[in-house]
Amino acid sequence: APDTDSRLRALLAPTIATRGDLREVVLIPLLAVFLALVIGALIMMATSVAPATILKSFVAMADGSLGSMNAISETLTASIPLVMAGLGIGLAFRAGLFNIGAEGQMVVGGLATAIAAFSFTGLPMILHLPLALLIGMSVGAVYAAIAGVLRATTGAHEVISTIMLNLISFRLLDYLLRQPYIQKEGRADPISRAVLETAELPRLLTFLDPNLRLHLGLFIMLAAVA
């Protein structure tokens, strides 16, 4: 009987694991989205917004994100850095740290990537693109490490330090984008120079529409998630 029970558990283990994965990967995210919509609707109703208007806003949101090929392309393009940032947060959580500074780390790393993308001229794409991405990831990681160093040396809680580093990154971005080497010529607003084509991630759907911006980062994101 004990041998039979152990064999039965061994046979059922993959099914149980699959059900657990299904719950975590599909059901929990769907439930989170549903609850977010419900809470949003309740807040709007509490501020005297008509139910018909709330319904129209939800329909418009769905149409704006999934209602056309361009909408789907923009939604996926915008989701790529968010998913990558989420993976970074998840990695910190596994180490027992609460990284609330992903936004600031993305800002600093993205700026470093942009600077590398227009600074190194004459390089082929096979070298320039990985180099720019590597520089951005390294700078973002160093910026994230500041909170780790503060935690290890002074005991400062990473939630507080990463939130403060977010604010610093915003001001730093605004300052650096106005510097002559980085700011686009002829512009007074904070905007960087154009990225060289050799440092751009190749677009995936130009055969359908040259204006669709979905790029190779989608597969990088999927590989990182896997």
For 100-129, give the DSSP string. --HHHHHHHHHHHHHHHHHH--S--HHHHH
Q: How many domains does the chain have?
A: 2
Please check whether residues 80 and 149 belong to one and the same domain: yes
Please check whether residues 129 and 171 belong to one and the same domain: yes
Please check whether residues 85 and 115 belong to one and the same domain: yes
Cβ-contact 224, 87 below 8 angstroms: yes
Residue 9: pLDDT above 70? no
Q: What is the pTM of this model?
A: 0.79
Residue 3: pLDDT above 80? no
pLDDT digits 0-9 by tens, 52-106:
999 999 999 999 999 999 999 999 999 999 999 999 898 888 888 889 999 999 9
Please check whether residues 134 and 165 belong to one and the same domain: yes
Please check whether residues 78 and 8 belong to one and the same domain: no
**Residue 18's domain spans which residues?**
1-67
| Of 12, 42, 67, the domain-final residue | 67
144 band by pLDDT with thresholds 50, 70 and 90? very high
Please check whether residues 52 and 75 belong to one and the same domain: no
Nearest one of 34, 36, 37, 54 to 45, comparing CA atoms? 54
Please check whether residues 96 and 196 belong to one and the same domain: yes
- 113: buried, middle or exposed (CB in 10 Å: 19+, 13-18, 0-12)? buried
Predicted confidence at residue 136, as pLDDT, reads 96
Residue 150: pLDDT above 60? yes
Please check whether residues 100 and 162 belong to one and the same domain: yes
